[in-house]
Amino acid sequence: MTKLYNVAVAGATGAVGQEMLNILEERDFPIDELKLLASERSAGKKITFKDKEYTVEKMTKDSFKNIDIALFSAGASRSREFAHYAVEDGAVVIDNSSAFRMDENTPLVIPEINPEDIFRHNGIIANPNCTTIIMLMAIKPLHNYSRVKRIIVSTYQAASGAGAKAMQELEEQAKAWVNNKEMPVEKFPYQLMFNVIPQVDVFMDNSYTKEEMKMVNETRKILHDDDIKISATCVRLPVFRAHSEAVTVELEDRIDPKKAEKLIDSFPGVKVVDDIKNSVYPMPLFVSGKDDCEVGRIRQDLNGDNWLSFWIAGDQIRKGAALNAVQIAETLIKSEQT
């Protein structure tokens, strides 16, 4: 008999929280009782899950009684405030924020890449940043073949990375332009419509942004390799959903692009889409709503035989956030189901 679990979703009304619920339903996660949590502002809203209507509750320190798994996507400050209450009440927290990612006692997990780390948790498991997840889905199969020494990456990030309100603002800007009205600008430093903003998150003392440093530090932690040299430039584009990244890597050994293509295409959660003769390559337009990340433009980099360049696109809300969290939960309970 399949064991059922009491699950809480914290931040249930946000873009990622809503997607978590969609994925839990799509993948038929074994749920007994479901509790939907959010801020006081969203409490009282109604959400349907598996044809049953649930009322969103205000998250408090007492929200996690009898909860087995708590999926958090309520922001770092809320995670820091409430996650330990969930752990104290016996739940395992899978947190989508940056709150615990670099804590040495908290595993940072992409299930296709380092599932063994899940079982080293002390009550909290961290979901990596979306850009890190999407990039590493293509890099890990190469790293398995020959250690990756250096990564140079530029990201092309959708409004979805800043949440549901950011997506709404982009839509409102498009409508304002059509109607010859002033565009609203609140979620980003500048108008995003018809623009490219070379800043995602705040700038650090080294002139890199926090988002860029997340990619550096999280990659090293997930791959358990502090010697990988990484440089990232993160950019926001007027795209609703799904991030893209241009990646160049240096490996210890020579690698042929055809070999790289086979390695990547055989890795779970990644699909090679690469037919440049017919202008076929990954794009946000086509990966939105998909679980797999797509990789194309795979080519020998001009730096040398040990260098490879490629392009990757993935749905930031699904594999970059909600799907990865649910996959962690599935891996966590797998040993109990067998």
End-to-end CA distance of the chain: 10
**How many C-beta atoms surround the C-beta of residue 177 within 10 A?**
14
Residue 67 burial by Cβ neighbours in a 10 Å radius (0-12, 13-18, 19+): buried
Which neighbouring-strand residues pair with 92? 69
- pLDDT computed for residue 36 by the predictor: 98
H, E, C per residue of 40-97? CCCCCCEEEECCEEEECEECCCCCCCCCCEEEECCCHHHHHHHHHHHHHCCCEEEECC
- Judged by DSSP in three states, 293 sits in strand
The one-digit pLDDT tens for each residue of the chain (338 residues) are 789 999 999 999 998 999 999 999 999 999 999 999 999 999 999 999 999 999 999 999 999 999 999 999 999 999 999 999 999 999 999 999 999 999 999 999 999 999 999 999 999 999 999 999 999 999 999 999 999 999 999 999 999 999 888 999 999 999 999 999 999 999 999 999 999 999 999 999 999 999 999 999 999 999 999 999 999 999 999 999 999 999 999 999 999 999 999 999 999 999 999 999 999 999 999 999 999 999 999 999 999 999 999 999 999 999 999 999 999 999 999 877 65
- pLDDT computed for residue 21 by the predictor: 98
Residues 6+ apart with CB under 8 A from 282: 244, 273, 293, 294, 295, 296, 311, 312, 313
Residue 184 burial by Cβ neighbours in a 10 Å radius (0-12, 13-18, 19+): middle
C-alpha 267: how far from chain center: 18
The H-or-E segment that residue 15 falls in is helix 15-26
Q: Which two tokens stand for residue 99?
A: 């709150």
CB distance 136 to 249 below 8 Å? no
Catalytic residues: 130, 243
Supply the pTM of this predicted model. Answer: 0.95
Q: Which two tokens stand for residue 321?
A: 């956030």
Which neighbouring-strand residues pair with 300? 308
CA-CA distance, 308 to 297, in Å (whole number)? 10
Where do the domains of the chain lie, and which CATH numbers do they carry?
5-128+321-337 (3.40.50.720), 132-316 (3.30.360.10)
